[in-house]
Amino acid sequence: MAFPITNETETLTIPGRFQGPPGVANGGYVSGVLAERLGGAAEVTLRKPTPVDRPILVKERGTGSWLEDDGQVLVAARSASLELELPCRPSFEAATIARDRFDENGHPFRHCFVCGPERNCADGLRIFAGPISEGVVAAPWVPDPSLSVDATAGAEIPARFVWSALDCPGAMAAAAGRVRPMLLGHITGVQDRPVHAGEPCVVIGWHRATSGRKHEVATALLDGRGNVAARSVQIWIEPRA
């Protein structure tokens, strides 16, 4: 559901539960928060880290929305469109086998809301995308009921958590199924159909191009019937040494 676009300023506090790196909000979650406000496909640029557990400003104008802190734009979103073809549609069983190939050694953000191995199932998403074919990673995901508004099985999951699920598998595709430090810089995504708590889903990610420290990847979320529920194209950036 799209929120009305106004010129008003609001205050938003992102709970620490939804961190990526320590003290910083997960990029997919933040992007999903803004996408919910715009409705439909959105193009999101992450310029600076978004802090958790303290108020920041949300501003909107026309078909754009952004987060601002101390006069600086942290994340900016605008309405967009997205065409994307998937390289494959793995089964839940195949994605489970791929997950078992995931190597968490050296994981830089072990408490990440999406891919942190130190989070439990009722607290984080625990999406560990391992290699399924050359340049492609996959993982199973069963959304926990705690992610729904009324915390019940079968309830619809808000878009911010769908966008979160699209996030880290992109980094894993960029790193060929391994995990190394890199940050989400840009994501264009869209949710095509609802996702429900308790539904056996599959997340895939695939590498598209690399230029220096920048990696272009794509991700998609398949619902319990194998239909595309959401998809994205992303740019990940490796920090300088």
Q: Does domain 92-237 have CATH number 3.20.20.80?
A: no
Instruction: Tell me whether the CATH fold assigned to 9-79 matches the one assigned to 92-237.
Output: yes
CB 193 within 8 A of CB 223: yes
Q: Per residue in 155-201, pLDDT tens?
A: 999 999 999 999 999 999 998 756 678 899 999 999 999 999 999 99
Q: Per residue in 193-223, pLDDT tens?
A: 999 999 999 999 999 999 999 999 999 999 9
Q: Above 60 in pLDDT, residue 3?
A: no
- Going by pLDDT thresholds of 50, 70 and 90, the confidence category of residue 240 is confident
Q: Per residue in 220-237, pLDDT tens?
A: 999 999 999 999 999 999
Q: Per residue in 44-82, pLDDT tens?
A: 999 999 999 999 999 988 889 999 999 999 999 999 999
Q: Per residue in 12-52, pLDDT tens?
A: 999 999 999 999 999 999 999 999 999 989 999 999 999 99
Q: Residue 83's pLDDT is what?
A: 95
Q: Which helix (H) or strand (E) holds 170?
A: helix 159-174
Q: Which helix (H) or strand (E) holds 204?
A: strand 201-211
SS3 state at 48 = coil
pTM greater than 0.85 (yes/no)? yes
Residue ranges of E strands in 62-200: 64-69, 72-79, 130-133, 136-141, 183-191
Topology of domain 9-79, per CATH? Thiol Ester Dehydrase; Chain A (3.10.129)
CA neighbor of 164 nearest in space, from 134, 144, 181, 180: 144
- Going by pLDDT thresholds of 50, 70 and 90, the confidence category of residue 106 is confident
Strand order in the sheet with 9-13: 9-13, 55-61, 64-69, 72-79, 42-46, 183-191, 228-237, 214-222, 201-211, 136-141, 130-133
The CA-to-CA distance between both ends of the chain, in Å, stands at 42
CB 217 within 8 A of CB 205: yes
Q: How far is CA 82 from CA 40, 114, 182, 241, in A?
A: 10, 23, 24, 33
- What are the structural domain ranges in the chain? 9-79, 92-237
